[in-house]
Structure 1
């Protein structure tokens, strides 16, 4: 496990880059209209390069054990996130009509952008490869069971009096179901997932990748973390912070789901798991804030996207305190 000084220094560096993104947005150098293209660049180009480059940074003597535990934790990740969200809803007495949204905020987290930036900064490049395993496995559940939660919540809202009527309403529902299936398949099978599988084949088969390719992957992947954190700064700059930060239930949900649950998981598993790196990645993945796509996807399934959008900002701001706290406790263990 990393030392506390290095952990705090790494997180402070990420905060500085986020502030630079915020300043750039306020000065007009970057704006919300370029966010989709930059996100696409990261997700489809630089992040896969980061995953590929990370394969060469894994110690062969300990890599197999860490990968095995990562496969186990990767399958468990979604269900632990879902249970943590349910516990938070119960503790905070979240109204029934909002529970689906809170559960969605608890499982659709920013593991891809902020997660990889934090992992690379704190644990080094090998952890990025392990993190890609987590994401590849958990996405299967997020875009199947997670989306089913949203759909059922949306149907409950329409049953209460919201939605179309007659043949047109039925046609719209059928059309939405068709789009849902296509969207889920598209989200589950993506470039980072494919690259994760390729990276696993390279590692276990001991495939020798030409040095120029690995060097190019490392160069391109090097912009993933700073660009991702600058996008976080852009999101914060676009938000109405005065309104968003005055949400006590969202803050309570953030503390329980993104701090207390990962902390409890670490305390329970630390004596049992021999791979400190895999456990560290698991805890970091659990602590990552709600993803920026939580609101838009919620709206796709007939839900109010404003609450998840606010949850994204609250949990992201809080993550800059939550992650150092978790890493400090883990360093003392």
Structure 2
């Protein structure tokens, strides 16, 4: 048990520390809102794509694509969304879709990848990147459905914009390019690999500093009951259900770890943007993001402790 607890802390404590530093730096004026915005853009458009590209390009393609894992994660997302949609049938239209989205849509690109690297090493980045690329598409399409249905006005323009943004997404393009190189067994020059690694190594520290710096619990404007319920589903019930399904299907070690850690991530910041675009309760979305981001470290630590104690990872 002590060894399992030490493993759990080794995964989550560095993430917590970097986020706390980001929060402290922001409130001491060492980093500004402009820095956080610029840093987040740099991560999304340059350093994270570089990180995923290099790891996918140098990996064994057969080991990267796990149809069973991807199908399981997709089915869990769709089924849980349907259940949550039914559960929220009595909520106000502006809150129903936002609540459902906040429960299933996780911050896989930053928190998810960071916990996976800490738990399983950089060799897990490539399969986790493929998971991220596919499930992010599922998240986007599912979010459009629930937010549109909640407002009773399907938004085809937003659907077109979302599809266009997905196929031009730097992360998606980086993974596709990495897969192409891996299939061709093409090796990049050492000087280019070294330069790429410089950029890639910036990704997680910079991203976590920006997450911590943008965190604010000073104004919880949304319905507190819905915030608590969404946080409980996102951080406890959905990850537990995913682990149960994954374990029953025979997933163990890295595969089960990827499924759990991606499902256990706090609510994604993109959910706030989409809620605002589709006339949802943006304050509720922001509050769910803030609360789940704070408490995800605790729930993930306990979840990893349980998985390690039972010998599942």
Q: TM-score range by the shorter chain?
A: 0.7 to 0.9
Structure 1 residues 245 and 143 mapped into 2: Cα distance closer, same or farther (>3 Å)? closer
Shift, 1:288, TM fit: 0.9
Alpha-carbon deviations, 1:206-261, whole Å to 9, x = none?
3322222222222211111111111121122x4425x3699243223222332222
Q: TM-score, normalised by structure 2?
A: 0.86
Which of 16-25 and 88-97 deviates more?
88-97
Structure 1 residues 30 and 37 mapped into 2: Cα distance closer, same or farther (>3 Å)? same
- 1:110 and 2:107 are equivalent in the alignment: yes
Structure 1 residues 155 and 40 mapped into 2: Cα distance closer, same or farther (>3 Å)? same
Aligned partners of 1:227, 1:234: CA distance in 2, in Å?
10
Q: Is the 8 A contact 1:48 1:192 kept in 2?
A: yes
Q: Is the 8 A contact 1:81 1:286 kept in 2?
A: no
Which residue of the other structure, out of 53, 62, 65, is the alignment partner of 1:64? Answer: 62
Indicate the residue corresponding to 2:197 in structure 1: 218
Q: Is the 8 A contact 2:267 2:288 kept in 1?
A: yes
Unmatched segments (≥5 aa) in structure 2 = none
Aligned partners of 2:87, 2:140: CA distance in 1, in Å?
26
Indicate the residue corresponding to 1:273 in structure 2: 250
Q: Helix, strand or coil: the match of 1:270?
A: helix
Aligned partners of 2:5, 2:87: CA distance in 1, in Å?
31
Aligned partners of 2:295, 2:251: CA distance in 1, in Å?
30
Alpha-carbon deviations, 1:273-306, whole Å to 9, x = none?
3552122111111111111121221111121211
Q: TM-score, normalised by structure 1?
A: 0.81
Shift, 1:82, TM fit: 4.2
Indicate the residue corresponding to 1:8 in structure 2: 9
Which residue of the other structure, out of 230, 249, 268, is the alignment partner of 1:253? Answer: 230
Which residue of the other structure, out of 259, 276, 280, is the alignment partner of 1:299? Answer: 276
Aligned residues: 307
Structure 1 residues 105 and 188 mapped into 2: Cα distance closer, same or farther (>3 Å)? farther
Equivalence map 1:1-333=2 (5 Å)? 4-55=5-56, 58=59, 60=60, 64-65=62-63, 67-69=64-66, 71-87=67-83, 95=91, 97=93, 98-155=95-152, 177-178=156-157, 180-236=159-215, 238-240=216-218, 243=220, 247-270=224-247, 272-273=249-250, 276-332=253-309, 333=311
